Amino acid sequence: MASAAEQLAANLNLGVLSKATELKKRIWFTLGALIVYRIGTYIPVPGVDAAVMGEMLQQHSGGILGMFDMFTGGALGRMTVFALNIMPYISASIIVQLMSAAIPSLETLKKEGESGRKKLNQYTRYLTVLIAMFQSYCISVGLESMRGSFGAAVIDPGLFFRISCVITLVGGTMFLMWIGEQITARGVGNGTSLIIMSGIVANLPHALASLLELGRTGALSPFFILAFLVIAVAVIAFIVFMERAQRRIVVQYPKRQVGQRMFGGDSTHMPLKINTSGVIPPIFASSILLIPATIAGFSQNGPAWVQTIAGSLAHGQPLYMLLYAGMIIFFSYFYTAVVFNPQETADNLKKYGGFIPGIRPGSATADYFDYILTRLTTIGALYLVAVCLLPEILISRYGVPFYFGGTSLLIIVSVTMDTVTQIQSHLLAHQYEGLIRKAKVRGRR
């Protein structure tokens, strides 16, 4: 079976893709949805002078707002309807998952299967609306206090502007949330991750041009630019290696007799990825940091302590680096605990007669899984911290664009690998279906 699967995987080519009608529809749907998203990043919020907003963001480009603008694909700098992007939905997902682990009723819903997941998703949507309303109102208030060399950021400040701004930004976030869900269901890949990745990729040419411009003006030496690009390639290769790395736990199934036939006796393995949480911890950590920083970044004339927070949360500052690293480590353990339950996995193995050689079934197997998973998660968390923070130091010291940071590279590589894997799975399924149809035709003959 393994050799047949390898042979099918080797035959995945454009000819096969041309015959996979369903996969082509999914790819075209995904591309169409992402094009709609990119068009929305150029539709401005009514009543806002985009030139003033762009000027203010340029002044804070080295801070947390610059990172937020990276995740939004430039929508925040242009102050468009997608300025909040899908970050409120990610924040709501974090809160619901945390509450699911702490509140028994929500934990029960989580175990109810499809119906429970639908209810949790509905709660996430409601919470997304509340978070988006809060953030959009803070943005509208902050915009009214902004003034640049071109004048005030808001043409006609007042209650009507605040209401219209909140409705526009919340509506844009909910529309993006719907697009993400549609991509996941009817397209290829995870919709939420693809939306974030497409925003980063769309601005990579501009970031590369900015990097080369720094070299042309003499702000950065050509040797440093070349070395930085080499480091970026090395980081990408390291990310690919770590994302594919896994620990394989041998699982055996005893022989059992059913009637006159013998079943079982096979030996297989259970793969555990070193980075089980994937790209989720950096995104979660960034979104949590963005909630208070959104207020601090827009409050130019606010209290002194607000400005102190804004300065402390700038890239390269010790507080920001410490909080970012701590949140990445926390969410690595938390998300791993959410997606992998050692006790449940051990019970399932025991139920079907599987066991790990040298380990007793039941609680001993669960303890073994927990021991292995803790060690793997520690390595995965340190890997994420290194990948995300080391480029941040270069960004803060040398002014390299955010789009070459560890978080953005991690998102691009991880989402690309996940999307390619799903495409290969669809092609493999199409190949199997073709072989089955041919076998049926031959059988009829």
pLDDT tens-digit map of 346-370: 888 888 777 888 888 888 888 888 9
More confident residue, 315 or 331: 331
Q: How far apart are CA 232 and CA 230, in angstroms?
A: 5
Three-state SS string across the chain, please?
CHHHHHHHHHCCCHHHHHHCHHHHHHHHHHHHHHHHHHHHCCCECCCECHHHHHHHHHHCCCCHHHHHHHHCCCCCCCCECCCCCCHHHHHHHHHHHHHHHHCHHHHHHHCCCHHHHHHHHHHHHHHHHHHHHHHHHHHHHHHHCCEECCEECECCCCHHHHHHHHHHHHHHHHHHHHHHHHHHHHCCCCHHHHHHHHHHHHCHHHHHHHHHHHHHCCCCCHHHHHHHHHHHHHHHHHHHHHHHCEEEEEEECCCEEECCEEECCCEEEEEEECCCCCCHHHHHHHHHHHHHHHHHHHCCCCCHHHHHHHHHCCCCCHHHHHHHHHHHHHHHHHHHHHHCCHHHHHHHHHHCCCECCCCCCCHHHHHHHHHHHHHHHHHHHHHHHHHHHHHHHHHHHHCCCHHHCHHHHHHHHHHHHHHHHHHHHHHHHHHHHHHHHHHHHHHHC
User: Of residues 215 and 273, which shows the higher confidence score?
Assistant: 273
Q: What is the pLDDT, as a whole number, of residue 66?
A: 65
Q: Is the pLDDT of residue 84 over 50?
A: yes
State mean pLDDT over 316-341: 85
Confidence of residue 441 (pLDDT cuts 50, 70, 90): low
Q: What pLDDT was estimated at residue 7? A: 45
Residue (of 52, 54, 60, 61) closest to 148 by Cα position: 52
Please tell me the distance from the alpha carbon of residue 90 to that of residue 283, in angstroms, as a whole number: 8
Give the residue-averaged pLDDT of 37-56: 83
The length of the chain in residues reads 445
Query: Which residues neighbour 430 within 8 Å (Cβ) at sequence distance 6 or greater?
Result: 16, 19, 20, 22, 23
Lowest-confidence segment of 47-56, 129-138, 177-186 by average pLDDT: 47-56
d(CA 299, CA 306): 7
Average pLDDT over residues 5-9: 44
pLDDT exceeds cutoff 90 at 198: no
Q: Which is nearest to 200 in space by CA: 53, 44, 402, 43?
A: 402
d(CA 380, CA 180): 27
Domain 2-187+194-444, CATH number (from 1.10.3370.10, 1.10.10.10, 1.10.3720.10, 3.30.530.20):
1.10.3370.10
pLDDT band for position 402 (cuts 50, 70, 90): low
Q: How far is CA 422 from the centre of its chain?
A: 16
At 132 the pLDDT is: 92
Contacts of 314 (CB under 8 A, 6+ apart): 62, 63, 64, 320, 396
Q: What percent of the chain has pLDDT over 90?
A: 14
| Percent of the chain surpassing pLDDT 70 | 77
For 176, residues 6+ apart whose C-beta sits below 8 A from its C-beta are 37, 40, 82, 85, 86, 89, 195
pLDDT value, residue 62: 52
pLDDT at 229: 82
pLDDT, one tens digit per residue, over 233-268 is 888 889 889 988 888 888 887 766 555 665 556 777
Which pTM does this prediction carry? 0.77
- Which residues is 246 bridged to in the sheet? 273
Highest average pLDDT, of 169-178, 326-335, 427-436, comes from: 169-178
Beta bridge partners of 97: none
Rounded Cα gap, residues 332 and 281, in angstroms: 6
Alpha carbon distance 378, 382 (integer Å): 6
Average pLDDT over all residues of the chain: 79
Phi and psi at residue 148, to the nearest 5°: -125, -170
Would you kindly state where each structural domain of the chain is located, as residue ranges?
Answer: 2-187+194-444
Average pLDDT over residues 124-142: 90
Query: Does the pLDDT at position 11 exceed 50?
Result: no
pLDDT at 170 over 90: yes
Q: What does the alpha-carbon distance between residue 110 and residue 114 come to, in Å, rounded to a whole number? A: 9
Residue 324 has pLDDT above 50, yes or no: yes
Q: Which of 55-59, 120-124, 363-367 has the lowest mean pLDDT?
A: 55-59
Most confident of 27-36, 76-85, 90-99, 344-353: 27-36
Q: How many C-beta neighbours within 10 Å does residue 236 have?
A: 15
Give the residue from 30, 6, 410 showing the smallest Cα distance to 192. 30
CA distance 143 to 50: 11
